[in-house]
Amino acid sequence: MHSKAKRWALIIIAVLSAVILFQIIKKVTRAGEKLSETAYDVKAVQAGKTDIQEAIFIRGIAEGNPQIKVYSQVPGKFERNAVSEGSFVNKDDTILYINRDIVGMDYQLANVMAPAAGIVTKIYTTDKGAFVTPQYPVAEIANPDKIKVILSTGEEDMIKIKAGQTAEISAAYGDKITLKGSVSSVTPFIDKDTMAGTVIVKADNPKRDIKPGMSVNVKIYGQRRQGIMLPENAVLLGESRSYVYINDNGRAKMTDVKTGYIEGDNIEITEGINIGDVVVTEGNFKLNEGNLLKIKE
């Protein structure tokens, strides 16, 4: 009996020793894992308020201001041009002549005169004998010293645009020529068929750098306000959500955000970020919630 009890005591001691050893190994292993946890190299910025001036970009076609279609006052047949396209005319200069050509009547050639000074941008009738009526234009004149752009834009932009706002007109192609101008008028309604309205932007063009008929980009500036802007690559896209990673005591914390205005490579954060939050801007694509961060300068 004594030897049997001794044997059971040894077995119990061995089992307890094994359990204790297992717990020690487990703790050491966990400590080792913690020591070897990967720290992810990232770049980050501190969120802060900045001036935001929204701008609306619309493409259009430059016109002279004014740009006028010219009509004959009498019907007849085209006889000849007095000027060519590209010619400068003063008010009341003759543009072309009309032969009234009525049987039994002897008329002098009727001259079609310029209603305003400008450059002849188009002559619609060039074939001698072609019939001309007062209902259809025979030419077009534009004042190249002033430019206007008639724009059609959607409802979302229309509610932000008001007469008097600062604007820029720049050539869409070639040299980067930019004219300073302003919004001249905005239609007070939205067309129910097109869901758009009309905006007219005007600018002085003293050097005639932008020519009537050129494609132009128009930038209309809105009101200045304060907001949080972050580099656009700080914002990641998930399923029906946008989010960023912020530095939460050295670890990555996923935070849902709402975005607003985009300017260049920066995007406005309207919800989800507080002033002072440190937001990961580079290296965020490889992060998961709780990852250890190593922020690079």
Locate CATH 2.40.50.100 in the chain: 72-142
Bond into 66 cis (ω within 30): yes
**Tens digits of per-residue pLDDT, 158-214?**
988 999 999 999 999 887 889 999 999 999 988 888 899 999 999 999 999 999 999
Q: How far apart are CA 262 and CA 271, in angstroms?
A: 15
In this prediction, residue 69 carries a pLDDT of 95
**Tens digits of per-residue pLDDT, 53-68?**
889 999 999 999 999 9
In this prediction, residue 100 carries a pLDDT of 82
Asked whether the predicted pLDDT for residue 3 surpasses 80, the reply is: no
In this prediction, residue 146 carries a pLDDT of 95
Asked whether the predicted pLDDT for residue 156 surpasses 90, the reply is: no
In this prediction, residue 239 carries a pLDDT of 83
Residue 68, beta-bridge partner list: 141
The CATH architecture to which 72-142 belongs is Beta Barrel (2.40)
Q: How far apart are CA 118 and CA 211, in angstroms?
A: 12
Phi-psi region of 272 (alpha: psi -120 to 50; beta: other; left: phi over 0): left
In this prediction, residue 123 carries a pLDDT of 93
Asked whether the predicted pLDDT for residue 32 surpasses 60, the reply is: no
**Tens digits of per-residue pLDDT, 259-291?**
988 888 999 999 999 999 999 999 999 999 999
**Confidence band, pLDDT 50/70/90 cuts, at residue 10:** low
pLDDT (average), residues 60-89: 93
Average pLDDT, the chain: 88
In this prediction, residue 297 carries a pLDDT of 75
Asked whether the predicted pLDDT for residue 74 surpasses 80, the reply is: yes
pLDDT (average), residues 27-56: 80
Locate CATH 2.40.420.20 in the chain: 39-52+226-295
Percent of the chain scored above 70 by pLDDT?
89
Asked whether the predicted pLDDT for residue 2 surpasses 70, the reply is: no
In this prediction, residue 31 carries a pLDDT of 54
Percent of the chain scored above 90 by pLDDT?
67
Residue that the structure tokens 């905006």 belong to: 199
The CATH architecture to which 56-63+144-225 belongs is Beta Barrel (2.40)
The CATH architecture to which 39-52+226-295 belongs is Beta Barrel (2.40)
Burial class (CB in 10 A: 0-12, 13-18, 19+), 269: buried
What counts of helices (H) and strands (E) characterise the chain?
2, 21
In this prediction, residue 5 carries a pLDDT of 66
pTM to 2 decimal places: 0.69
Locate CATH 2.40.30.170 in the chain: 56-63+144-225
**Tens digits of per-residue pLDDT, 84-130?**
999 999 999 999 999 887 655 667 888 999 999 999 999 998 888 89
**Tens digits of per-residue pLDDT, 211-234?**
999 999 999 998 888 999 999 999
